[in-house]
Structure 1
Amino acid sequence: MKALQIAATGMAAQQMRVDVVSHNLANMSTTGYNARRADFADLHYEQSARPGTVTAEDGTMLPTGIQLGMGVRPTAVSVLLSQGSLLQTGGDLDVAIEGRGYLEVTLPSGAAAFTRDGALRRDAEGQIVTSDGHPVAPGLTIPPEARSLSINAAGEVWAYFADRAEAELLGQISLVGFTNEKGLEAIGSNLFLESAASGPPLAGTPGVDGLGTLRQGYLEESSVDAVREVTELIKAQRGYELNAKVLTAADQMLAATTQVR
């Protein structure tokens, strides 16, 4: 009886679905987080009689055949690329990305990583870094005597000084786009790595070539929809229970079969 194995794949799939929902709900307050969705596909089929087969008895063609599915398997955990709402913070180094694009940061290994978390800081040397201390490309340094900063929609960083009437341009924050953003490899801490599926990073100016713009004093909130996630959780729970009932029924049928004298 294959029902035991098929029901087990269904229970495993619903468990994975619950894991994804749990991860989404845990990151409801994570800056720049995009919700995930578990995707599934049916397993291969046992072909007892293929559609279109000519029967040996009378030579007629089977219109449908007999194809018994073997269950379900996970295919992907997709990122739902939707813009989170913007939260006004008023911070000089809080930057939200409106539209497509990622900030490029440099990891301690020297490798490039990418993030939409615009909660930036300055380190002891005045360099603009992420909350975890990773420098933001292209490596801008704020003079210690600067009293305030201004970052415009194009990413230009201007510093204001007490003894000067004119602001000084420190540099420009660039954004990076990808051909397939869903192909990025998540490594935690709101960071992603380039992969063969995502394609190479395409650096550009905010607001140009389809990239989004920057908004100073704002942060992008998580795109998790709590109502949708709770609905998914209920559906996954019901699906798990139904597969468990199939498992119990198949076990009872096997027990009845073994008791036949």
Structure 2
Amino acid sequence: MTSALQIARSGLDALDSRMKVISNNLANVNTTGFKRDRASFETLMYQVTRPAGAPAGGDSQYAAGLGTGTGVRVAGSERIHIQGALTQTDNALDLAVEGAGFFQVARPDGTLAYTRDGAFKPDSTGRLVTGTGYRLTPELTLPEGASAVTIAPDGTVSASLPGQTEPAQLGQVQVARFLNPAGLQPLGENLYGESAASGAVQLGAGGADGAGVIRQGALEASNVSTVQELVDMIETQRAYEVNAKVINAADEMAKYVNQNV
């Protein structure tokens, strides 16, 4: 049989995991494009002594069963993909997705990753890359001398080139979408990877088929609410203290039995 000590210990483990999730959210309150996580819990198996509806003698049945829970565990951490506030930067190469979608970038090993952090910069060859040097995909290169770079809400990129009177179209920034963005695998560096749970990537123009539109000269802030996280932290702390008190009470009860029975 599972003792009260074991049940309370499972509560301490689960609440410790929740506190880690909250601390990570607060640590990333200023991370561009960060999406907060939320820990979810589920009960462990019940020890059923008598099922509901069991015969109680004659034609009678027990209206309620008799069972004891064995504790709790963390079922998972759900990523909340709510839109963060857009911060105007007036930098022509700072981009934000307003709505659903991600920017697609290529990692050094050739694998693709996805990010909401649109702080792009040109490298030595003019290709747009992230702050860590990952290339925007499909590649977009700014020719030497390009000025007045304009990126439309659908991702179309144009710029003024030396010797030309009309702006030249340079390419298009595409938006990557997933049926279940919460199923993306976090990779660090503001990146996510495709997984079996997320579904296959769907690339397209901004604003097409449910994809978000691209906003030039803006970055998406973290969607973490400091006030909400502090409330959750206090709630978790109090629940942790209560579970610790249960352990102390169960220990005192066991001590009493050992000394007096």
TM-score range normalised by the length of the shorter chain:
over 0.9
C-alpha distance in structure 2 between counterparts of 1:201 and 1:68, whole Å? 45
C-alpha distance in structure 2 between counterparts of 1:74 and 1:189, whole Å? 25
Structure 1: 4+ residue segments shifted above 3 A: none
SS in 2 for 1:90: coil
In the alignment, structure 1 segments of 5+ residues that lack a partner are none
1:43 corresponds to:
44
C-alpha distance in structure 2 between counterparts of 1:117 and 1:227, whole Å? 23
2:70 corresponds to:
70
Alignment of 1:236-255 (within 5 A): 236-255=236-255
1:129 corresponds to:
129
C-alpha distance in structure 2 between counterparts of 1:121 and 1:67, whole Å? 61
SS in 2 for 1:163: coil
C-alpha distance in structure 2 between counterparts of 1:155 and 1:203, whole Å? 12
* Structure 2 letter corresponding to 1:126: G
How far the C-alpha of 1:59 sits from its partner, in A, is 5.2
SS in 1 for 2:237: helix
How far the C-alpha of 1:159 sits from its partner, in A, is 1.6
Alignment of 1:1-261 (within 5 A): 2-55=3-56, 57-58=57-58, 60-261=60-261
C-alpha distance in structure 2 between counterparts of 1:169 and 1:39, whole Å? 47
How far the C-alpha of 1:60 sits from its partner, in A, is 2.3
SS in 2 for 1:12: helix
SS in 2 for 1:78: strand
* Structure 2 letter corresponding to 1:49: R
Q: Deviations over 1:161-197 (max 9, x none)?
A: 3432211111001011111110000011110011000
SS in 2 for 1:232: helix
In the alignment, structure 2 segments of 5+ residues that lack a partner are none
SS in 1 for 2:12: helix
C-alpha distance in structure 2 between counterparts of 1:58 and 1:207, whole Å? 69
Give the share of equivalent positions with the same residue, in percent: 41
C-alpha distance in structure 2 between counterparts of 1:92 and 1:162, whole Å? 18
C-alpha distance in structure 2 between counterparts of 1:211 and 1:147, whole Å? 28
C-alpha distance in structure 2 between counterparts of 1:129 and 1:19, whole Å? 32
- TM-score w.r.t. the length of structure 1 is 0.97
How far the C-alpha of 1:67 sits from its partner, in A, is 1.1
C-alpha distance in structure 2 between counterparts of 1:244 and 1:165, whole Å? 74
SS in 1 for 2:136: coil
C-alpha distance in structure 1 between counterparts of 2:82 and 2:107, whole Å? 26
* Structure 1 letter corresponding to 2:26: L
C-alpha distance in structure 1 between counterparts of 2:201 and 2:234, whole Å? 39
Alignment RMSD (CA, Å)? 1.1
How far the C-alpha of 1:76 sits from its partner, in A, is 1.2
The count of corresponding residues between Structure 1 and Structure 2 is: 260
* Structure 1 letter corresponding to 2:184: L
When structure 1 is superposed on structure 2, of 146-155 and 183-192 the one drifting more is: 146-155
Q: Deviations over 1:105-131 (max 9, x none)?
A: 111111111011000111111101111
Change (3 A) 1:259 1:58: farther
C-alpha distance in structure 2 between counterparts of 1:89 and 1:163, whole Å? 29
Q: Deviations over 1:211-254 (max 9, x none)?
A: 01011100000000011000000000000000000000000000
